[in-house]
Amino acid sequence: MATVAESTSSVSAKSADKTWAKPSNLENEPRAFKAPSKYRSSLLNGVSKEGPPSLSSKKFKLRYNSPSGLQDAFDVSYAYLRDKSQELYNKIESSNENKTQLEIEAQINNPEVRFNFAYNDKLENDPQYIDYEQPVYRELLKQDWESKDQMLLMQRLEQLHAIPDTLPTFEPKVPVSLKFLNHTTVNRWIEPGTVLSSNVTAYPPSIKIQELEQVDTKTQLYTVLIVNPDVADIANNTYKTQISWGLSNVKLEYNDNFITPRRLLEDDGSINELIDYLPPVPEKNLPTQRFVVWVFRQPAPINVKLTERDFNIREFVKVNSLNAVGAHMWRSTWDLNVSKVRELYGLPKGTVFHKVRGEKRMK
Partner 1 sequence: MRLTVGGARFFSSTRAAAGKAGCNTVAPVHHTVKIDKNRLSPRFPGLQHSKLDIRHPGYKPTSTYQDRVAEYYSNSVQSDLLLINAQHGESRQPGYKRREWDGSSPFHLNRSLRKPKGSDAETPDIKPHSAANVPKIEAIHINCYVEQAKDNVNHAISALVQLQQITGVKPKPIYSKTNVLHWRVRAGYQMGASVVLKGRPMHQFIATLTEVVFPRIRMFKGVSNKSGDTLGDIQFGLRPDDVKFFPEIEQNQDNWSKTYGFHVNVVTSAQTDAEARTLLSAYGIPFYGSEKGVKPENVEY
Partner 2 sequence: MLTFPIKSQIATLSRAVNGSTNTKYLISSLPLQFARGKRTKRTVTVSAGTQRIITQLSVISARKKVPRVLKLSNEDLIRHDTVQRAWTLFQREKRQQQDEQLSKQYDSIINALEDLKAVAPELYAVANKKEKGKRFPLEARIPVDYPPNKIWYYDVAKDESK
Order of strands across the sheet that contains 206-209: 176-179, 206-209, 258-259
- Under the binding rule (CB under 8 A), the answer on residue 54 touching partner 2 is yes
**151 in contact with partner 2 (CB under 8 A):** no
Q: Tell me: does residue 232 bind partner 1 (CB under 8 A).
A: yes
**Rg of the Cα trace of the chain?**
26
- CA 263, 269, 270, 275 torsion: positive or negative? positive
* Whether 291 contacts 330, CB under 8 Å: yes
How many CA atoms are closer than 13 Å to the CA of 236, on its beta-carbon side?
Answer: 7
Residue 47 found at the interface with partner 2 (CB under 8 A): yes
Return the one option of partner 2, partner 1, none that residue 255 interacts with (CB less than 5 to 8 A, by type): none
Q: What CA–CA distance (Å, rounded) separates 140 from 131?
A: 11
Is 7 one of the binding residues for partner 2 (CB under 8 A)?
Answer: yes
Q: Which residues of 173-199 are buried (b: 16+ CB within 10 A; e: fewer)?
A: bbbbbbbbebbeebeeebebbeebbbb
What is the nearest approach in angstroms of partner 1 to the Cβ of residue 277?
A: 25
| Amino acid at residue number 126 | D
Residues 138-167 that bind partner 1 (CB under 8 A): 147-148, 150-152, 154-155, 157-159, 161, 163-164
Our finding on whether 355 is near partner 1 (CB under 8 A) is yes
Q: Which does 104 bind (CB under 5 to 8 A by kind): partner 2, partner 1, none?
A: none
* Residue 84's binding partner out of partner 1, partner 2, none, with CB under 5 to 8 Å set by partner kind: partner 2
Alpha-carbon span 324 to 203, nearest angstrom: 25
CB nearer to partner 2: give 30 or 111.
111
Contact positions with partner 2 (CB under 8 A) in 118-137: 118-119
Q: Mask 99-118, x = binds partner 2 (CB under 8 A)?
A: ----------x-x--xx--x
Q: Is 75 exposed, middle or buried (0-12, 13-18, 19+ CB in 10 A)?
A: buried
Which of 275, 178, 292 shows the shortest CA–CA distance to 230? 292
Q: Which of residues 24-43 bind partner 2 (CB under 8 A)?
A: 39, 42-43
Give every CB contact of residue 231 below 8 A, 6+ residues apart in sequence.
Answer: 239, 240, 241, 242, 289
Q: How many residues bind partner 2 (CB under 8 A)?
A: 29
Residues 45 and 18: beta-carbon distance below 8 Å: yes
Q: Which is nearer to partner 2, 118 or 195 (CB)?
A: 118
CB distance 350 to 283 below 8 Å: yes
Pattern 173-212, partner 1, x by CB under 8 A? ----------------------------------------
Which listed option, partner 1, partner 2, none, makes contact with residue 74 (CB within 5 to 8 Å by class)? partner 2
Distances (CA, A) of 17 to 20, 22, 44, 63: 9, 14, 10, 29
- Binding span for partner 2 by CB under 8 A among 45-53, 139-147, 163-171, 249-257: 45-53
> Applying CB under 8 A, which residues contact partner 2?
2, 4, 7, 39, 42-43, 47, 52-55, 64, 66-67, 70, 73-74, 76-78, 80-81, 84, 109, 111, 114-115, 118-119
